[in-house]
Every structure is written in structure tokens, then in C-alpha cells.
Amino acid sequence: MKAFVFPGQGAQFVGMGKDLYEKHPIAKQHFEQANEILGFRITDIMFSGTDEELKQTKVTQPAMFLHSVVSALCLGSAFEPAMVAGHSLGELSALTAARCLNFEDGLKLVAARAIAMQKACEARPGTMAAIIALADEKVEEVCAAVREESGKVVVPANYNCPGQLVISGEAEAIDIACQRLKEAGAKRALVLPVSGAFHSPLMLPAQEELEKAIAATEFHTPVCPVYQNVDAKPHTDPEEIKANLIAQLTASVRWTEEVQNMVADGATSFTECGPGKTLQGMIAKICKGNENVSIHGVND
């Protein structure tokens, strides 16, 4: 069974999507439609902007969505998913590729999500850190202890793959947690160059804004099950999908469990739709030793 997966922020690079725009009429059509919907030429930033321009959340999220969804569209009849999933922002790409959302509504939701998150970051600054080679349970235990002692926010945010868990919260609490996690045996505790504490309680104002935008958007039954970040389970009911999408902004991304559930439900092939190979690397670690699973990029 074929699974298609869609990455979140972090895999972007200047020049992304230019080859699709030049080679595929359907890509050019959707890129130009996105420029009109967004009210600025995001293609100029994607194809020839600066790293700093592309790193702005209000640009990065629509750019990643656009590249990922168009990558799937360019597959034509080869895009035959038995199931889909997306990491963080990528969940909106997955929902659009699976026709739960139409392209225009999907892009508008991504833009609304990005602006809401940017405002939340400015109102309550925070950061994230990648914890490498330490058991998830230990990371959870340390975060809980730091929260209780400091009264500040620090939570597990992204369960990416075995040995890689990203934590999120207020900078002071992240610094304390990183020091303790290194003392507890983490190989690395690396503060990430991000603009805010995504997938933490600091995103509550953004969640409230996104809820309004989602309530005003029409969701359809997807063409296949969509595995969602908040519970790692497959969903096809539009109301359940909407509720999970709203909860996702302040909840952990349970990616390891998500991929494991997809494999348990019959996935034998994973194709990453989007720039880079971030998810391919994570899935390779999650499925290590499983010879029945193949992992590809969209152009492989």
C-alpha cells in the first residue's frame, strides 16, 4: 500500500519549485494562482529571494504547502494514495492532496495559520530545541520537572523518530531543560533557529484564530485516510479532521507513532512530496530493519 507524506517547516531552500514551474503547466498554473490568492509573488521569493525572506513564517508555510501540493499534482495518475500524513504544517498539505480541502481553501488556511503563529510568537517569544539520543520518557520527565520548578512552559513538541525529540517553550525553561538533558545523557541538546515555541501552550492565541478560519472553511471527505499528528490515527470524518487540526497547534506531533501505525495498517511504500528529504530520514529510522518498507522522494 502506498503512503504519501508531506513535510513541515525547515526543509525550505531558495530555488525550491522553480524546476516544477518550468517543466509542468499544472505547476505554473497553481503557482500563479497562489500569487493571486496571497496578494504577493511568493514565487519570486521561492525561486530567487534571500534565505532571510524565505525564513519568515508568513512566507515559509505557504511556500512549503505550495511546493508539496504541486509536487503531488505533478505526479498525475501516479498519485494513488492508500493513506497520507503530514508533519505539522504538512498536515494541511496532506489534507489538500487528499481532496479534503480544495487548493484555494488549503492555501488560505495555511496563510491564516502562518500569520496567527507569527503574531503569537511576537506576543510570547519562545524557542525549540532538538534532543538527540535520549529516551522519550526521560525527556518527558525532565520537561515536567522544569515546568513544576520554574513555572515556565517547556513541553515535548515533535516526536520525530527514535532518538530525536524536539522540545518547545519559553527560552529560559528550554535552556534549563537542555542543560539537564545533557546531564541525563543526551548526545546533543541543540536550540533551533526558529521564531517561536510551536506545538506548545504558547501557541494558544494562534489556535483560537485558526479555529475561526477552520470553522469558516468547507472540509470534504478525503479520498483516503489521513493520519493526524495529535493522535497518530487515521481519520476520514471532516469534523474529526477539523478538531484535530485545531488541536495540533498546541499539541505534540506524534510522528514516530503515526508512521508506525501506517506500517501496521499496511503501508509498504512511503513517498515524500516536497523539498528535501527530512521525512525520508525520519521514516528510515522509524522503520529500521523492516525490509518490507521502501522510502522515496517525489522525484525518485
> CB–CB of 50/60 below 8 Å?
no
> CB–CB of 269/61 below 8 Å?
no
Q: Is 88 a catalytic residue?
A: yes
Q: For the CA atoms of 131, 136, 138, 144, what is the dihedral angle to 10 degrees?
A: 90
> CB–CB of 199/249 below 8 Å?
yes
Query: Which of 199, 200, 235, 252 does the annotation list as catalytic?
Result: 199
CA–CA dist 290, 271 (Å, integer): 16
CA distances from residue 131 to 113, 115, 171, 176, 267 in whole angstroms, order as listed: 26, 28, 15, 13, 28
Query: Which of 88, 93, 195, 252 does the annotation list as catalytic?
Result: 88
Q: Is 87 a catalytic residue?
A: no
CA–CA dist 222, 224 (Å, integer): 5
Query: How many Cβ atoms from other residues are within 10 Å of residue 270's Cβ?
Result: 25
Catalytic residues: 88, 199
